Copies of this chain bind each other. A is one copy, B any other.
Amino acid sequence: MPKNALYAQSGGVTAVINASAWGVIEAVRAHPAHFGTCYAARDGILGVLNEEIFDLDQEDPLTLAALRHTPGGAFGSCRFDLGDPERDPRQYERLVEVFRAHDIGFFFYNGGGGSMDTALKVARISDLMGYPITAVGVPKTIDNDLDATDTSPGFGSAAKFIATVVREASLDVESMHTSSTKVFILEVMGRHAGWLAAAASLAQEYDGQPPMLILFAEVPFDEADFLNNLQLVIERYGYCVVVVSEGLKHADGSLFAVAQSHDVYAYTQLGGAAPRLAEMIKRGTGYKLHWSVVDYIQRAARHLVSRADVQQAYAVGKAAVEGVVAGYHSFMPVILRQSSVPYRWTISRVPLERVANIERGMPPEFIAPDGYGITQACRDYLRPLIEGEDYPPFEHGLPCYSRIRGMLLPKRCPEFTVNDD
């Protein structure tokens, strides 16, 4: 009897992570000789520790197929890192207990660099604890900071959303600038990498249209230089769009804006760069301005996604399963670019060690010399990633998204308390 497969979602979710889920589920079911049943853990690795495992056979097949166009994490996600197996073997013993109780031999973990570290730790259970488990990563992150892949599923759609709303809001501020608003600030996500801020530049039809200054997480913020540049742009064009990464830093490396010092699990929550920048601009120039923070909206906006991104999200899920069928383990599927125009790509794989806990920032040659824009090389890289549309079905004026019934497998193990520290 083949062992069962378990899929789980981790970290910040995206508009297309469920397309990866569907890719995994469909591929597992297409290989009955290799896999038993396909399950999904609730809330990522937490669901394994808590023995909360969804029985996908109790879901309507149409509900599962509709995951392809449903944003968010259909099975729940988590921000949770496994401890060191040497220092805290209890978590790993628990994982084995739950895997064994439900005859799980395959673990597909869908997340970013931190989640790939979790997948790697699960993969090492085979050697460390003698329980045979094949663990594979499935890439996902709107931040585009996973290494070794052309892009990460989730990024292209967030980039397309940002470029679109920047183009739209630019037309708005252009209309208003004579007697009212002259500066529009948009804050986008990106703790360490400015990829999403860079994507805003795609809104420009040609150089200087709309006039825009980008503040990257990678470029130390210099207030005087920025205000000077802003003044020059407004003198020339009458208005300016400013796009700021939430992770903008001062020259000393400290964050420009921190919403809350620290929350649970030692992640720093960012946000608030836009209103802070607005105050600074108002004080420094007196211009009337408006600001926007898109936050979750940019990564949940399934109503406007990149078709390439949806296809890649599905493809990496499928490739994770097919790699296992081909005999590979402890890997993450990656996207390899074959050409930019037209965009052609293929799927390969890298060992989990190659991507776990690694963050890829923008290469310096992608940032314009003045630090406020992108180069042609960056534009050539980004453009294919936002191509094509893939609208969800609408009913009564709103997108129809899928919602699982969420029937859990009966518990077979004793209670377990997840240590939250």
Q: A-side interface residues toward B, CB under 8 Å?
A: 9, 12-13, 15, 42-43, 46, 70-74, 76-80, 160, 163-165, 167-176, 178-180, 184, 186, 202-203, 259-260, 263-265, 267, 269, 271-272, 274-275, 278, 282, 288, 290-297, 299-304, 306, 383, 386-389, 391, 394, 396-399, 401
| Chain B neighbourhood of A186, CB < 8 A | 297
| Chain B neighbourhood of A383, CB < 8 A | 396-397
Contact A77 B391 (CB under 8 A): no
Known contacts being A171-B71, A179-B43, is A290 close to B294, with CB within 8 Å? no
Identify A78's interface contact among B76, B169, B180, CB under 8 A.
Answer: B180
From residue A265, how far is it (CB to closest CB) to chain B in Å? 7
Contact B265 A172 (CB under 8 A): no
Contact A292 B282 (CB under 8 A): no
Starting from the known contacts A72-B168, A292-B296, 18 additional A-B residue pairs (CB-CB under 8 Å) come to: A42-B178, A43-B178, A43-B179, A46-B178, A72-B170, A73-B175, A76-B175, A77-B176, A78-B178, A165-B301, A180-B263, A180-B264, A186-B297, A260-B288, A263-B288, A271-B291, A291-B295, A391-B391
Contact B290 A160 (CB under 8 A): no
Residue with the highest number of chain B CB atoms closer than 10 Å, among A43, A169, A278 = A169
Residue with the highest number of chain B CB atoms closer than 10 Å, among A13, A46, A168, A394 = A168
Identify A296's interface contact among B9, B290, B386, CB under 8 A.
Answer: B290
From residue A183, how far is it (CB to closest CB) to chain B in Å? 11
How far, in angstroms, from A12 to B275 measured CA to CA in the complex? Answer: 21
| Chain B neighbourhood of A267, CB < 8 A | 180
Identify A397's interface contact among B269, B306, B399, CB under 8 A.
Answer: B306
> Which residue on chain B has the smallest CB distance to residue A50?
B178
Contact B398 A160 (CB under 8 A): yes
From residue A207, how far is it (CB to closest CB) to chain B in Å? 15
Contact B76 A164 (CB under 8 A): no
Residue with the highest number of chain B CB atoms closer than 10 Å, among A175, A263, A300, A301 = A175
Identify A275's interface contact among B76, B275, B306, CB under 8 A.
Answer: B275
| Chain B neighbourhood of A184, CB < 8 A | 295-296
How far, in angstroms, from A355 to B184 measured CA to CA in the complex? Answer: 31
Contact A179 B288 (CB under 8 A): no
Known contacts being A202-B398, A260-B282, is A294 close to B296, with CB within 8 Å? no
| Chain B neighbourhood of A160, CB < 8 A | 397-398
Known contacts being A71-B172, A167-B399, is A292 close to B290, with CB within 8 Å? no
Contact B179 A79 (CB under 8 A): yes
How far, in angstroms, from A288 to B262 measured CA to CA in the complex? Answer: 10
Contact A175 B301 (CB under 8 A): no
Known contacts being A259-B278, A291-B293, is A302 close to B179, with CB within 8 Å? no
Identify A9's interface contact among B78, B175, B304, CB under 8 A.
Answer: B175
From residue A103, how far is it (CB to closest CB) to chain B in Å? 25
| Chain B neighbourhood of A170, CB < 8 A | 72
Identify A171's interface contact among B176, B394, B401, CB under 8 A.
Answer: B401
> Which residue on chain B has the smallest CB distance to residue A394?
B389
How far, in angstroms, from A180 to B387 measured CA to CA in the complex? Answer: 32
How far, in angstroms, from A186 to B140 measured CA to CA in the complex? Answer: 25
Known contacts being A175-B77, A176-B79, is A169 close to B275, with CB within 8 Å? no
Contact A171 B72 (CB under 8 A): yes
Residue with the highest number of chain B CB atoms closer than 10 Å, among A164, A172, A399 = A172
From residue A71, how far is it (CB to closest CB) to chain B in Å? 5
From residue A115, how far is it (CB to closest CB) to chain B in Å? 13
| Chain B neighbourhood of A265, CB < 8 A | 179-180
How far, in angstroms, from A169 to B161 measured CA to CA in the complex? Answer: 14
